[in-house]
């Protein structure tokens, strides 16, 4: 049956990089990939058209799709809007409405780009980590939350870190499943020495491990995990952690690679439906100049093929094509170094299509 992809370019460079990813999908369609693409606005672009960063038609399209390809949202133009209609609400709304509880963020360092990292090449060369972050629970969503004024007039701010056993189980299951397809190692990151919630998290992960004993499991406190990520990052295969710890550690891991324009991400729900997007934002500083790196978005399509569309061979083809263009010395401005060939956004997209 024809699978459906909702294409949501969003704002800023989102428009340019998604156009290149669409070229790649069209090439694969010509080679037999049975998918249908439908495009809709989201973020500031959608607000300008309809007054909402997530119009009903866009949400409907996303819900009916097997997978969503998102560019990025946000920009200077919409920063002064009320928080309820800011572009970011479009993204949060999609995550919530689609129930995307598992955020997969790979940090891969292509050997061709080892110099782009601020760490020594021998520490990071060949790095390939997958961070599995819980995305719909924890302290970002826990109630009660807010700021209140105490009797003495002082303000007190509070948030609640809360996880149910079932939430820990489903994210752990995702981590074990992914590890099984990779290096078969999972490191669960918590703060079990201080936070009861994550002491329970650790217990649940250990219980789940009884039925997943083919996977090598370890546990690490989050402060140590942050340290180990910069000290000896190649010790990790899959890391699984809470929403806030994952937010911080995945940015840290991404920066190990030194090239924000190269990293894709996936967010999955219980039905295997997913939203796929580059980890970077809408880069308003370079929008409209045809200089953004489209590879993170193109690699997001590879993740989409692998995790939501059951087309692993097509995913492999995209990843090999990206490898080939890097081998050929093609570089957008963000990853350019002396001796390489500087190309525009659209030239990079064309080169990947040719390599395919
Ligand atoms: P950003 O990721 O957009 O940009 C950070 C820096 O990286 C900029 O200098 C930018 O030019 C560069 N950069 C990013 N992607 C690039 C690419 N593909 N090629 C070359 N260079 C690239 O982060 P920011 O500047 O903090 O945020 C800009 C806007 O994006 C804000 O409105 C923010 O809210 C939004 N944002 C959206 C998402 C999302 O949609 N998922 C994520 C992060 C930020």
Ligand 1 pocket mutation pick from 79, 258, 283 by most atoms within 8 angstroms of CB:
283
Structure tokens at 60: 């409907």
Which among 11, 110, 163, 191 is annotated as catalytic? 191
Report pLDDT digits (tens) over 122-135.
Answer: 899 889 999 999 99
Ligand 1 contacts CB of residue 335 (under 6 A)? no
Which among 4, 23, 221, 251 is annotated as catalytic? 251
* Rounded mean pLDDT, 80-87: 93
> How many C-beta atoms surround the C-beta of residue 216 within 10 A?
13
Ligand 1 pocket mutation pick from 282, 298, 322 by most atoms within 8 angstroms of CB:
282
- Domain extents for the chain? 1-109+258-356, 137-255
Domain 137-255 has CATH 1.10.3470: no
Nearest Cα to 244, choosing from 281, 177, 164, 189?
Answer: 189
Report pLDDT digits (tens) over 266-289.
Answer: 999 999 899 999 999 999 999 999
| Residue 322 alpha carbon to ligand 1 centre in Å | 21
pLDDT at res. 111: 85
Ligand 1 contacts CB of residue 217 (under 6 A)? no
pLDDT at 258 over 80: no
pLDDT at res. 78: 97
Residue 117: pLDDT band with limits 50, 70, 90: confident
Atom of ligand 1 nearest to the CA of 72: 40
Backbone φ and ψ of 355, nearest 5° = -65, -30
Tell me which residue has its CA closest to atom 37 in ligand 1.
281
pLDDT at res. 83: 86
The 3 state secondary structure assigned to 66-94 is CEEEEEECCCHHHCCCCHHHCHHHHHHHH
Domain 1-109+258-356 has CATH 3.40.718.10: yes
Report pLDDT digits (tens) over 201-257.
Answer: 999 999 999 999 999 999 999 999 999 999 999 999 999 999 999 999 998 998 888
* Rounded mean pLDDT, 32-45: 98
Structure tokens at 66: 């097997």
Atom of ligand 1 nearest to the CA of 10: 40
Q: Which residues 6+ apart lie within 8 Å of 129 measured at CB?
A: 106, 107, 108, 233, 236, 237, 238, 239, 253
> How many C-beta atoms surround the C-beta of residue 81 within 10 A?
14
| Residue 294 alpha carbon to ligand 1 centre in Å | 13
247 assigned to active site: yes
Atom of ligand 1 nearest to the CA of 292: 19
pLDDT averaged over the chain? 96
């Amino acid at each position: 049956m024809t699978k459906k992809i909702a294409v949501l370019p969003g704002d800023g460079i989102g428009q340019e990089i998604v156009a290149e990813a669409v070229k790649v999908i069209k090439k694969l369609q010509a080679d037999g990939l049975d998918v249908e693409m439908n495009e809709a606005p989201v973020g500031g672009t959608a607000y300008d058209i309809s007054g909402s960063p997530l119009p009903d038609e866009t949400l409907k399209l996303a819900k009916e799709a097997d997978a969503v390809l998102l560019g990025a949202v946000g920009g200077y133009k919409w920063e002064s809007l009320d928080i309820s209609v800011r572009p970011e609400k479009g993204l949060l709304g999609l995550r919530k409405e689609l129930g995307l509880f598992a955020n997969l963020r790979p940090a891969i360092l292509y050997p061709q780009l080892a110099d782009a990292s601020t760490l020594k090449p021998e520490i990071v060369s060949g790095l390939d980590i997958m961070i599995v972050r819980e995305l719909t629970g924890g302290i970002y969503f826990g109630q009660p939350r807010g700021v209140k004024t105490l009797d003495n007039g002082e303000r007190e701010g509070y948030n609640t870190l809360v996880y149910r056993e079932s939430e820990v189980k489903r994210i752990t299951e995702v981590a074990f499943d992914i590890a099984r397809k990779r290096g078969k190692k999972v490191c669960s990151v918590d703060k079990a020495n201080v936070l009861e919630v994550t002491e329970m998290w650790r217990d649940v992960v250990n219980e789940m491990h009884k039925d997943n004993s083919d996977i090598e499991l370890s546990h690490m406190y989050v402060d140590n995990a942050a340290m180990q990520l910069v000290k000896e990052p190649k010790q990790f295969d899959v890391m699984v952690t809470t929403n806030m710890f994952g937010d911080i550690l995945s940015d840290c891991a991404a920066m190990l690679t030194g090239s924000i324009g190269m990293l894709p991400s996936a967010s999955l729900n219980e039905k295997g439906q997913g939203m796929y997007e580059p980890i970077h934002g809408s880069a308003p500083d370079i929008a409209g100049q045809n200089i953004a790196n489209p590879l993170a978005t193109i690699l997001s399509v590879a993740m989409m093929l692998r995790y939501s569309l059951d087309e692993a061979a097509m995913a492999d083809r995209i990843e090999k094509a990206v490898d080939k263009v890097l081998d050929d010395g093609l570089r957008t401005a963000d990853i350019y170094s002396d001796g390489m060939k500087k190309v525009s956004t659209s030239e990079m997209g064309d080169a990947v299509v040719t390599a395919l």
